Amino acid sequence: MIFGRLPLEQSHRLLTGGAIDRLKPLSFSFDGRSYRGYAGDTLASALLANGVTVMGRSFKYHRPRGVMSAGPEEPNALVELRSGARREPNTRATMIELFHGLRATSQNRWPCLRFDAMEVNDLLSRFLVAGFYYKTFMGFPGWHFWEKRIRAAAGMGAGTVEHDPDGYETMNAHCDVLVVGGGPAGLAAALTAGRTGARVILVDETDGLGGRLRSERDTLDGKPAIAWAASVAAELADLPEVRVLTRTTAFGIYDNNLVGAVERLADHMPVPPAHVARQRLWHIRPQRVIVAAGAIERPLVFGGNDRPGVMLAGAVRTYLNRFAVTPGKRAVVVANNDDGYRTAFDLAAAGIDVMQILDTRSASHGAWRERALAAGFDVAEGSAVTNAYGRMGLVGCDIARLDGRGGTVGDSRFVPCDLIANSGGWTPSIHLHSHAGGKAEWNDQIAAFLPGSVRSDVVTIGAARGRFALSDCLSDGFKAGAEAASSCGFGTGTAPDAPITDEVPTAPLQALWSVPPTPGKKVKRFVDHQDDVTVEDIELAHREGFVSVEHLKRYTTLGMGTDQGKTSNINGHALMAAARGQSIPTVGTTTFRPPYTPVAMGAFAGRTTGRHLAPTRRTALHDWHAANGVVFIEAGPWLRPQYYLQPGEAVSKETMDRAITDEVVTTRTKVGISDVSSLGKIDVQGPDSAEFLNRVYSNGFAALPVGKARYGLMLREDGLVDDDGTTSRLSDTHFLMTTTTVHAAKVLADLEWYLQVVWPELDVRVSSVTEQWAGMALPGPKAREVLAAAVDPGADVSNEALPYLGVTCTATIRGVPVRIFRISFSGELGYEINAPADWGIAVWEAVMEAGEDHGIRPYGLEAMGIMRIEKGHVAGPELDGRTTPDDLGLGRMASTKKWFVGRGMLDKPAFTDPDRPKLVGLVPVDGVSRIRAGSILVDDPDAATPVPKLGHITSSAYLSPTVGHPISLGLLARGRERIGQEVWAVFPLRGIRVRARVTETCFVDPEGKKLHG
């Protein structure tokens, strides 16, 4: 058992009421201490039920903080949830659903929550004002010294260094109407739209439907409103085309109304069930979006307003009504709107002493006030809390009368209390509206921004557009749902009647952006609780010229915490507006950006990570390699044989080197076979095929005879080399092009481009046939004998019938029709055999069998690489996108007789500069030193920096088994003129320098006798 001690009793839990399940007690721990809560609790409500008031520490001053809200806006009560590889720092206690065995710890404190050494920052706070770090730490001992200390103190929770064991996935959905938010407005909208038969998706961030109804004691048609919500939920569940996703946050609207949403499938459980992802990221593509995201309450800004026990009034009602928790025993209520009264009634109903209702409005004569007075509450108008006291929990507060001009009248009065419920009005959640490109329009009546104009396919309703009365939310919802469905072709567009509410009409609020301090007291008034931004910080920013809201934000970090200013931005911007003497809409607001609430990186990544980061491409011969000692290597998406171990060998440097050398030697002296299936193969058909190839290749293809292959070079439009490969003419109008593995997709796309866009007059079709054919190269002096033995009787592969660059499509091997090309990358007598992929292994085995007596062995990429360097063939490192044909010694392949892609650029001065690096061979003068690829070629390695450079080594073989010493290729300035001379190949990263002799590029059989043999 992880819980050593007995659970404490839930001292702050009401005996009845709430939506918790008292029959399902759950044990959990916080900071190592065991507690008990109920199913339906959040961590915050369960801690409050157990009388725990301090749940976190603030970012900068490390002030003890309690819970301020009951929702996603929570800035204070952030904890580390779970442990080990699943540790999740900065998790809002208000959003953690309680589960059995939950473990959470406080964060950003040392050594513990109650005694935090970093609280010294609070004492030093007068130095640590906004932006102090820009003004100091510049001279000795320098920023590096201080940064270490600051980094150690900064950050909130600690991440883990272990790999997350849980899975994530993505899900796509389409619908007619998406409703974001399952409060009364969203429920009404989803229901109306759903009843028409339209495809509807309803998402809500929380674990259930009802929104604010879950927190309030409203009634609908005389019954508890929450019962109405439950009945709507039940009806929605029965509608076949409606999908309800709870625990799902719509975090952003992207172009064309793609709504990103994250569903927490298993965050309310100890670990995800087998085969179930922890979270699922939804791509929702609705025709219409209805945003019914509700509103978020604003705190009042007064002295000590961050003390544990100071809560938003709406949150207090949530704890009372939904969780049956009493967040205090003696409460003071302070508000600039009628919510104060409403809260007082709920507090009283739960048996809590309401010491005082403070209405900051100078005069309010609304119905709520009348009711409160009638009920005997002590109401003080035009008054507010001016300072709150109590480090680890509230003990009381000063209250004073406001003079309406930023000061107080008369003396303040101390009122003992352990709870302050405060409300500064409500801020509509216009985040998604803003993501969709909608404007924010200031509204004086509610003192907040409302959604302004946006396209007709995203509408915002209910509290999210400032309609705070329940009846208005409902009528908004019924109307929007009907309209959205009918615009998608469902229903008549008429809204049903809304149920009847029992609302008490409300009087307007009176904006109040900060409360003056208790006369004579120095107080801290927090605007942004998480980042410890105070009224004074905002004034300082103003003094120093950081007066635009964007500068204010960046200078003070206002609104930059995990809550993104949900509770602080409007207060902060309003205070800046006041300092500037301008209106709030003039000053404006900062930009709303996704995500609405923070989203785990893993959820975005989904399955596309780890092994699945990119799909793996296997050749048709893969299974043979795997059964025959292969070591695979990643080559782009492909897995290709790197080399083959002999039975019983394990991977090591020695076995690898031996294998590679043996593979080269076998191929050069006998015969080898390798898998070249990954080379791109493009089928080119149509009467204009030859003309087309003649245009895209720099060398001529018009006259290529049927049954012949030719090496071709392709340039980009900018004149630099793009790709190479051999192309064969299978008939007058039918060609097979091959490309390098890496460029296969790009070359196909380019060919399609020229055919579809540039030369639509050419009658040619191109298709990839890479996957259709397994490809095997069969080079070596014995290759013809092996091939002759492999092909079925009747096929003639003699030098006469199949000469160098010959092609035949009529042979069969084991009955399988194959294409045989007499081409070679290694410089040996060689063939490439293409066999339909499903028969690839059968054909490969037939060839292996035929070669057995000749000592055939398979070779991998390493041996292939060495042999192509021995031949001086160019590959990826030479085709690096910066070389011209002439740089590579392929200048003769740029025809002067015709136009081809890239020719228009070939004459640029820089491309014809004789000083350009040219491809050469390089060998160590001492005959043994390795010349590593990536070495730089210089005349004088000891020259003063910057050392003039002549070029670099592109490819190298540490040992050419054929010539018996290391060889390499490089690009060297005026290289062809330097053949026979010596240069230095330096590798300062490893302190290596090698004297190298410049040679021709071809080290083996330069006349190409073997090819033709």
Ligand X SMILES: Cc1cc2nc3c(=O)[nH]c(=O)nc-3n(C[C@H](O)[C@H](O)[C@H](O)COP(=O)(O)O)c2cc1C
Ligand Y SMILES: NC(=O)c1ccc[n+]([C@@H]2O[C@H](COP(=O)([O-])OP(=O)(O)OC[C@H]3O[C@@H](n4cnc5c(N)ncnc54)[C@H](O)[C@@H]3O)[C@@H](O)[C@H]2O)c1
Residue 456 to residues 289, 443, 474, 594, Cα–Cα distance (Å): 9, 21, 20, 21
Q: How far is the CB of 42 from ligand X (least distance, A)?
A: 25
**944, amino acid identity:** A
Q: Which of 1, 15, 650, 989 binds other proteins (CB under 8 A)?
A: 989
Q: How far is the C-alpha of 634 from the C-alpha of 728, rounded, in Å?
A: 29
In Å, how far from its chain's centre is CA 954? 35
Residue 543 touching other proteins (CB under 8 A)? yes
Name the residue nearer to other proteins (CB basis): 477 or 516.
Answer: 516
Q: Write out the two tokens for 99.
A: 């589960």
Strand 295-297 versus strand 709-715 pairing type: unpaired
Name the residue nearer to ligand X (CB basis): 594 or 707.
Answer: 594
3-state secondary structure of 498: coil
Look at residue 242 and give the partner it binds from ligand X, other proteins, ligand Y, none, a contact being a CB closer than 5 to 8 Å depending on partner kind. none
Q: How far is the C-alpha of 691 from the C-alpha of 213, rounded, in Å?
A: 73
Residue 487 touching other proteins (CB under 8 A)? no
Look at residue 905 and give the partner it binds from ligand X, other proteins, ligand Y, none, a contact being a CB closer than 5 to 8 Å depending on partner kind. other proteins
Write the burial class of residue 353 (CB in 10 Å: 0-12 exposed, 13-18 middle, 19+ buried): middle
Residue 130 touching ligand X (CB under 6 A)? no
Q: How far is the C-alpha of 383 from the C-alpha of 403, rounded, in Å?
A: 9
What region does 396 belong to: left with phi over 0, alpha with psi -120 to 50, or beta? left
Look at residue 653 and give the partner it binds from other proteins, ligand X, ligand Y, none, a contact being a CB closer than 5 to 8 Å depending on partner kind. none
Q: How far is the C-alpha of 428 from the C-alpha of 297, rounded, in Å?
A: 9
Q: How far is the C-alpha of 341 from the C-alpha of 335, rounded, in Å?
A: 8
Name the residue nearer to other proteins (CB basis): 273 or 505.
Answer: 273
- Per-residue x/- mask for ligand X, residues 495 to 534, rule CB under 6 A? ----------------------------------------
Residues pairing with 997 in the sheet: 923, 982
DSSP 700: -
Q: How far is the CB of 470 from other proteins (least distance, A)?
A: 33
Q: How far is the CB of 897 from ligand X (least distance, A)?
A: 55
Q: How far is the CB of 396 from other proteins (least distance, A)?
A: 27
Residue 550 touching other proteins (CB under 8 A)? yes
Residue 593 touching ligand X (CB under 6 A)? yes
Cβ proximity of 596 and 431 under 8 Å:
yes
Q: How far is the C-alpha of 719 from the C-alpha of 368, rounded, in Å?
A: 80
Residue 33 touching other proteins (CB under 8 A)? no
Q: Which of 406, 416, 803, 815 binds other proteins (CB under 8 A)?
A: 815
Look at residue 794 and give the partner it binds from ligand X, ligand Y, other proteins, none, a contact being a CB closer than 5 to 8 Å depending on partner kind. other proteins
Residue 866 touching ligand X (CB under 6 A)? no
Q: How far is the CB of 437 from ligand Y (least distance, A)?
A: 17
Look at residue 562 and give the partner it binds from ligand Y, ligand X, other proteins, none, a contact being a CB closer than 5 to 8 Å depending on partner kind. other proteins
Q: How far is the C-alpha of 526 from the C-alpha of 537, rounded, in Å?
A: 10
Q: How far is the CB of 244 from other proteins (least distance, A)?
A: 15
- What count of other Cβ atoms lies within 10 Å of the Cβ of residue 221? 12
- Per-residue x/- mask for ligand X, residues 93 to 122, rule CB under 6 A? ------------------------------
Q: How far is the C-alpha of 301 from the C-alpha of 571, rounded, in Å?
A: 8
In Å, how far from its chain's centre is CA 131? 30
Cis peptide leading into residue 594 (ω within 30°): no
Considering only residues 563-592, where is the footprint of ligand X by CB under 6 A? 564, 590-591
Q: What sign for the dihedral angle of Cα 141, 143, 144, 148? A: positive
Q: Which of 395, 504, 605, 959 binds other proteins (CB under 8 A)?
A: 605
Residue 650 touching other proteins (CB under 8 A)? no
Q: How far is the CB of 466 from ligand Y (least distance, A)?
A: 9
Cβ proximity of 421 and 343 under 8 Å:
yes
Considering only residues 934-973, where is the footprint of ligand X by CB under 6 A? none
Name the residue nearer to ligand Y (CB basis): 435 or 622.
Answer: 435
3-state secondary structure of 17: coil
Residue 838 touching other proteins (CB under 8 A)? yes
Q: Write out the two tokens for 346.
A: 């709920």
Q: Write out the two tokens for 462.
A: 């209910």
Binding-site size for other proteins (CB under 8 A) equals 178
Q: How far is the CB of 503 from other proteins (least distance, A)?
A: 37
Q: How far is the CB of 425 from other proteins (least distance, A)?
A: 25
Name the residue nearer to ligand Y (CB basis): 564 or 728.
Answer: 564
3-state secondary structure 427-439: EECCHHHHHCCCC
Q: How far is the CB of 99 from other proteins (least distance, A)?
A: 17
- Per-residue x/- mask for other proteins, residues 230 to 269, rule CB under 8 A? ----------------------x-xxx-x-x---------
Task: Provide the b/e sequence for 759-793 (b: ≥16 CB within 10 Å).
Answer: eeeeebebebebeebbbbbbbbbbbbbbbebbbee
Residue 223 touching ligand X (CB under 6 A)? no
Residue 147 touching other proteins (CB under 8 A)? yes
Q: Which of 987, 997, 1005, 1008 binds other proteins (CB under 8 A)?
A: 987
Considering only residues 271-310, where is the footprint of other proteins by CB under 8 A? 273-277, 281, 283, 285
Cβ proximity of 873 and 834 under 8 Å:
no
In Å, how far from its chain's centre is CA 52? 36
Look at residue 349 and give the partner it binds from ligand X, other proteins, ligand Y, none, a contact being a CB closer than 5 to 8 Å depending on partner kind. none
Q: Which residues bind ligand Y (CB under 6 A)?
A: 180-186, 203-206, 211-213, 249-250, 292-295, 339, 426, 429, 462-464, 468-470, 473, 596
- CA angle 565–568–572, rounded 5-degree value: 115
Write the burial class of residue 2 (CB in 10 Å: 0-12 exposed, 13-18 middle, 19+ buried): exposed
- Per-residue x/- mask for ligand X, residues 528 to 567, rule CB under 6 A? ----------------------x---------x---x---
3-state secondary structure of 132: helix
Name the residue nearer to ligand Y (CB basis): 419 or 474.
Answer: 474
Give the binding site for ligand X (CB under 6 A): 550, 560, 564, 590-591, 593
